[in-house]
Structure 1
Amino acid sequence: MFDIDLPWWEFVVRGVMIYIALLVMMRVSGKRTVGQFTPFDLLVVMLLSESVSAGLTGGDDSVAGGLIVVVTLVALNVAIAFITARSSKAADFVEGTAVLLGRDGKIFKHVLRRNHVAEGDMEQALREHDCPLGKMKYAFLEADGKITILQN
């Protein structure tokens, strides 16, 4: 139960590699993927976690190996939070920045497409903010995937 099949440091290396790979994939997938989970997105996240589990432990089923991976992932998460709180460049890379989707009643459709935002989502955000298109001053896609509308 507590005997590990691999050297302890291999669990750490595996955890770091998979953490970084998943972080990069989440950034590449776009803000909307992170901001609004559909049932399909939830399924993908569940499958991702299952697919990387063997890679994290290298087939080791010991409690100690699992705990080493958990400690590594939590430590990485704390380290990333520490770094992004102190460096705006790191925060921009890890968390992203807001993107201007529209201004003065005009929606930038090419920006919507580039950021994987459906026009229906933009229209929904306008309704949620009780803002007719003509009164929209700015529309932003925030780093967390939400759409913010500022009115005249």
Structure 2
Amino acid sequence: MLFPYSDIIIRSIAVYFFMTIALRVFGKKELSQLNTADIILILLISNSVQNAMVGPDTSLIGGLVAALVLFIINFIIKKLIRRYKTLSKLLVDKPEILIHDGRLDFKTLSRLDISDEELKEAMREHGIEFFKNVKLAMLEIDGTISIISQDKENLKQTHYKRKHNRKNLQKF
């Protein structure tokens, strides 16, 4: 080995990219509001990948090197995402239109597994009773639902944190 901790560096980079891809595939939006099962999953994943990163080196220095590598690679990835739009498209979700001018996008709602109750809850939090009164509802990249009302006098915008219940999508 060129450097005594090069094995930890390579392992940490591999784990970082694996976790990035896994979150992209399984839905980063799932992290917008954590429930008990999500927290348990994160704790178990962190414990399982810790061994993959440091290998047999369980020393303090080994753990700090792994953590430092994760911070550095995260910093570099964020810089690259800002600079290169194609990389950004691969790694960062884009906002999704759920309602536009009172019309629901059923394909998007179904694909994102957003129930009518979640949408109605977000509308109620904004003081909107009917879908027809929604100018624009967006699922933001952080998992919140933003709503802009049709009412020009009381134009407001609010964010609604999704609660990820696993119930089947109900009919609208």
CA distance in 1, matches of 2:104, 2:136: 9
Larger RCO, structure (CA 8 Å, separation 6 or more) = 1
When the two structures are aligned, how many residues end up with a matched partner? 147
Residue 87 of structure 1, CA deviation: 2.6
CA distance in 1, matches of 2:86, 2:124: 34
In structure 1, stretches of 5+ residues that fail to align are 1-5
Residue 57 (1) aligns with residue 59 (2):
no
More helix by share: 1
SS of the residue aligned with 2:147? Answer: strand
Query: 1:34 matched to which residue of 2?
Result: 31
Which of 90, 104, 112 aligns to 1:93? It is 90
TM-score (norm 2): 0.77
Residue 18 (1) aligns with residue 15 (2):
yes
CA distance in 2, matches of 1:42, 1:118: 23
CA distance in 1, matches of 2:49, 2:113: 26
In structure 2, stretches of 5+ residues that fail to align are 151-172
Percent sequence identity over aligned pairs:
27
Is the CA contact 1:32–1:116 (under 8 Å) kept in the aligned structure 2?
A: no
Query: 2:122 matched to which residue of 1?
Result: 125
CA distance in 2, matches of 1:21, 1:75: 16
Residue 7 of structure 1, CA deviation: 4.1
CA distance in 2, matches of 1:82, 1:123: 37
Deviation sequence 1:44-67 (CA, Å, 0-9, x none): 111111111110111321122112
Residue 9 of structure 1, CA deviation: 1.0
CA distance in 2, matches of 1:27, 1:140: 19
RMSD of aligned C-alpha atoms?
A: 1.8
